[in-house]
Structure 1
Amino acid sequence: MKRASRLLAAIAALALTAAPLALGTSPAASASPKPPASAPGVEYMAKPGDGAQRSSNGKGTAEMPISPDNPAGTEWLNDCLGSSEAQAPNGHVYNRFKWCQEWEFQARYYKKVDGKPVLKGTNTIKFTAAAIGYNDTRATRVFFRAKTGQVHYDGWNFLEKRTVAPNLKLEITPECVPGANQPTTATCGVGRSPAKMEWAQWSNFPDWVYWDVSSIGGKGEDQVAFHQWRFFMNGASPGYEQSTGGGEGPSIGIRCDSANYFNHGPKRYPHACIYTNAYPVLTYKMTENPQVGQHIRDAQNNPNSTWPQKPKDGHSKRIPGKWHVSEGLRGAPLHRVPSRYEGGTIADENERWKKSACGQNGGLNPWAPHYDATTGLPPYPDGLQCDEYPFSSTHEGASDPQWDFSVRAVDATDNTSAGSNLRKFYTNDRILMFLDDFWVNVVDG
């Protein structure tokens, strides 16, 4: 049970919960990329003190675009916006690095008459918003664009609807939610001033405006920090000081870290921010990895049919990690640990158990010390490799006393490809060691 205790301790050390909060300070300018010049026609208002806060399948982006629907991103954004969740106050977390929303904001404008506020009219803007997390910087880029022609003026008299309502100001910015930093020593900031235009300008402004929400500090070796950001929209304008135009949108959760073990080949990704409201699921396709895919399916769905044919404590074999798509349920999750090539002791232990189950130890009983010719995997032809599930780079791998495992002889090319997909998944979905739950799903196509 020592391994379970070690995992629980690691998770407990990073179990950071959100709470009603106090304003965080702005991070240094180096925490997020230097913003380009303001877009034409947009007034980026200066704040008191530069950077001061008013209150403020995965894959991130290193070089962030100035538009989320550039040619490389159009498919994801259209798909995201097509979700019913995108048409809701909290928007839709598309994957660990992407979020989107189509929603509206209303500002009710009042003027005092005989000392009492009287409603003069209501302005409404319908908008599209999106966000993409960086994978080499502790930041996420937040985009906003009014839907062309989707600004409406209701309740105004005939003259004011044409001469007053369209000329009132609307200020928009993302802000870090006060007090939501966990741990409290971490700070969250927005690297650009609010965008402010007249309502009529917003109605006809076709471009995206954007900001970088960034993070500094965190807990543990990976410097993990949880933050929340939200949109703040303010329609207050001269002569309408009693406007109820200030509005705070729902909080959107992000997690930022500075883990140094993410890479694709020589390219490393030492910092990132991801969206917390998404379950990371590694998907294998039977069209790409038919033998490994079938092995995982059998291990998850019928573990007693798999090798080794000897449960660890006499019960029916139990193997974790299944993502139950049809039932809308989740099995027990897996957790990443350092691999053998990274000096991981758990992964090394997993490898020793796997070798016993696969008959790779040599001698009179190559299945020793845990199995024999009856319980271990029968000898298999040269050219095949012994594949194991759960993976050796997981806490729940072959040596975990709480779980069973499966081994099977598979084609070497299939096994190598599946291993490569696992390593890509760890980086693309930013799976932190010991902390992140993840699951495995096998699909036909």
Structure 2
Amino acid sequence: MNTPITLARLARGAVTATALALLVTVTTGAHPAPAADDTPPASVGFVDAASVPAEQLQGFDQLVPLKDYLHTHGSSLARKAADAPALPDPDPDPDPDPDLKQQCASHAAQAKTTAGWIKSRFESCQKRPYDLILRDARGTTSLGRLKFDQWILGFSYDGSRRVDYVASIENIWVQPIPTEDATKWRVGQHFRQSINASTSDPNPQVTEPQTKERDELLGEWDRTPQWALTYASPDRGPLFEQGNQQRVYSTVVMDLTASSPNSVPYGGGVDNYHSSVRYDYAGKPAGKYKGAVFTAARVELVMSQTDPKAKESALHIYDALNRPERTFPSWPGKSVPGAKEPLHRVIDPDKVDANRKKSIQECKKVWGDYSGSGLECDEYPFASTEEGSTKGDNRFSVRLIDGPDNRKGGEYINAVYTLNRVLNGDPFYVKITN
């Protein structure tokens, strides 16, 4: 994947005339307004609706889409803006994954967390719904309600030291009291990033986008919901043969704000979104020589016991994970990592070779000389992992299996390494299906 995504806009439901009428006729008795001769008190600001007592939410269940509110309450300029055709998406490139937003929405519980739903090492998203109440300075009167969805889609690239984020505020609904003007309400997205120098290679750098903040009136968000940011890490050419993979570990954070003219900014949106990224120029072991990944993604090797090309390899791993008493070496209470405990890749060829030699010795102890049989010594955890047979804890298994089957299993694990930019020490898991 080497192109960012084009976002599809969320459809906005039309509001009925009855809902609009209810919004207009909200009584000041239900939602007390300042006296006509008093200066309106500065409001505490927006707070999460879940923190407001139920009695102070009464009557605030008649929200309408912002576009409809602008038609009846906005200025002529605001109404003109609401009627203007939507601007084209900011990304001119073809859409590599048109279903990402739909997939994100289907993982709602994960998508609304700080890290969001991480589909893979190269795609992630956050869809976080907000329900806010505007309150007065005394914290006893509700002045309005605001709902919207925050979206952030993240794209890292296998082959480029770059990460793109497409952020948006969408599906905006409002309900202010008659004396409050929702056309003056604002929402802001504020991005910042930091580098973890202690885990990065020497001289880590990230080039940030020119624009990192967008704080707009609701009407502007409604008209142009989306904006894009690109973070990139410059490289100094191939230095991996000198032991420098130019790894840069970075965290991108976003704070969300919401405010009205007489309020302090909403404080519940600090550290609203976190995205952990690694840039590298690791060379051939990573597949494409350079790239960027979301480090929180779960990397998993999935093999099937019904795969005719590697069913013996899959069965061996299944037994090691689920029936270790059937595997060699055999000892009471034996357990083998990979399903719940991750494995970790080893790139050093000497360590890989040492694991392989010890495993072959173990096979010969059990089955004797098997040369010429067409069978090969299959080992799990793999020779290319820290958990291989030389680790010293005997939490491994060996078995003689068909030679082509054994080699196909090796191809599968190498594909996981290169397709996911699994570098030395990176964790991954193993799953065997029927």
Give TM-score scaled by structure 2 length: 0.63
Number of residue equivalences: 338
1:273 equivalent in alignment to 2:292: yes
After the TM superposition, which residues 7-26 of structure 1 pair with which residues of structure 2 at under 5 Å, given as runs? none
Are the counterparts in 2 of residues 174 and 230 from structure 1 also a CA contact under 8 Å? yes
Q: What is the alpha-carbon distance in structure 1 between the residues aligned to residue 265 and residue 333 of structure 2? A: 65
Q: What is the alpha-carbon distance in structure 2 between the residues aligned to residue 285 and residue 90 of structure 1? A: 30
Are the counterparts in 1 of residues 283 and 290 from structure 2 also a CA contact under 8 Å? no
- Secondary structure at 2:321's aligned position in 1? helix
1:191 equivalent in alignment to 2:209: yes
After the TM superposition, which residues 41-440 of structure 1 pair with which residues of structure 2 at under 5 Å, given as runs? 61-67=1-7, 72-83=96-107, 84-105=109-130, 121=144, 123-147=146-170, 150-157=171-178, 160-161=181-182, 166=183, 170-176=187-193, 186-194=204-212, 196=214, 198-202=216-220, 204-205=222-223, 208-215=226-233, 221-234=244-257, 242-244=264-266, 247-262=269-284, 268-288=287-307, 289-307=310-328, 315-316=331-332, 318=334, 320-323=336-339, 331-338=340-347, 344-358=349-363, 375-376=366-367, 379=370, 382-433=373-424, 435-440=425-430
Q: What is the alpha-carbon distance in structure 2 between the residues aligned to residue 345 and residue 169 of structure 1? A: 60
The structure-2 alpha-carbon separation of the partners of 1:349 and 1:253, relative to structure 1 and needing over 3 Å to count, comes to same
Q: What is the alpha-carbon distance in structure 2 between the residues aligned to residue 389 and residue 408 of structure 1? A: 9
Once the two structures are TM-superposed, the CA of residue 90 in structure 1 deviates from its matched residue by: 4.1
The structure-2 alpha-carbon separation of the partners of 1:350 and 1:432, relative to structure 1 and needing over 3 Å to count, comes to same
1:27-67 deviations in Å (ceiling 9; x for gaps) = xxxxxxxxxxxxxxxxxxxxxxxxxxxxxxxxxx3333444
Partner of 1:327: none
Partner of 1:39: none
The structure-2 alpha-carbon separation of the partners of 1:379 and 1:247, relative to structure 1 and needing over 3 Å to count, comes to closer
- Secondary structure at 2:360's aligned position in 1? helix
Deviates more, 1:376-385 or 1:82-91: 376-385
Are the counterparts in 2 of residues 68 and 130 from structure 1 also a CA contact under 8 Å? no
- Secondary structure at 2:313's aligned position in 1? helix
State the one-letter code of the partner of 1:349.
A
The structure-2 alpha-carbon separation of the partners of 1:254 and 1:138, relative to structure 1 and needing over 3 Å to count, comes to farther
- Secondary structure at 1:95's aligned position in 2? coil
RMSD after superposition: 4.1
| Greater percentage in helix | 2
- Structure having the higher Rg: 2
- Secondary structure at 2:231's aligned position in 1? strand
- Secondary structure at 1:222's aligned position in 2? coil
Are the counterparts in 2 of residues 177 and 228 from structure 1 also a CA contact under 8 Å? yes
State the one-letter code of the partner of 1:231.
M
1:125-155 deviations in Å (ceiling 9; x for gaps) = 32322212222333321122333xx212333
Once the two structures are TM-superposed, the CA of residue 292 in structure 1 deviates from its matched residue by: 0.8
Once the two structures are TM-superposed, the CA of residue 394 in structure 1 deviates from its matched residue by: 1.4
1:223-245 deviations in Å (ceiling 9; x for gaps) = 444332222345568x6685558
Q: What is the alpha-carbon distance in structure 1 between the residues aligned to residue 8 and residue 367 of structure 2? A: 52
1:202-243 deviations in Å (ceiling 9; x for gaps) = 5544774221234469xx833444332222345568x66855
Are the counterparts in 2 of residues 336 and 394 from structure 1 also a CA contact under 8 Å? yes
Q: What is the alpha-carbon distance in structure 1 between the residues aligned to residue 428 and residue 278 of structure 2? A: 18
Q: What is the alpha-carbon distance in structure 2 between the residues aligned to residue 377 and residue 174 of structure 1? A: 62
Once the two structures are TM-superposed, the CA of residue 345 in structure 1 deviates from its matched residue by: 0.8
- Secondary structure at 1:375's aligned position in 2? helix
Partner of 1:441: 431
Deviates more, 1:184-193 or 1:124-133: 184-193
Are the counterparts in 2 of residues 321 and 333 from structure 1 also a CA contact under 8 Å? yes
Structure 1, gaps ≥5 residues long? 1-60, 113-117, 308-312, 324-330, 359-372
1:111-131 deviations in Å (ceiling 9; x for gaps) = 99xxxxx99656443232221
Give TM-score scaled by structure 1 length: 0.62
Once the two structures are TM-superposed, the CA of residue 337 in structure 1 deviates from its matched residue by: 1.2
Q: What is the alpha-carbon distance in structure 1 between the residues aligned to residue 306 and residue 8 of structure 2? A: 31
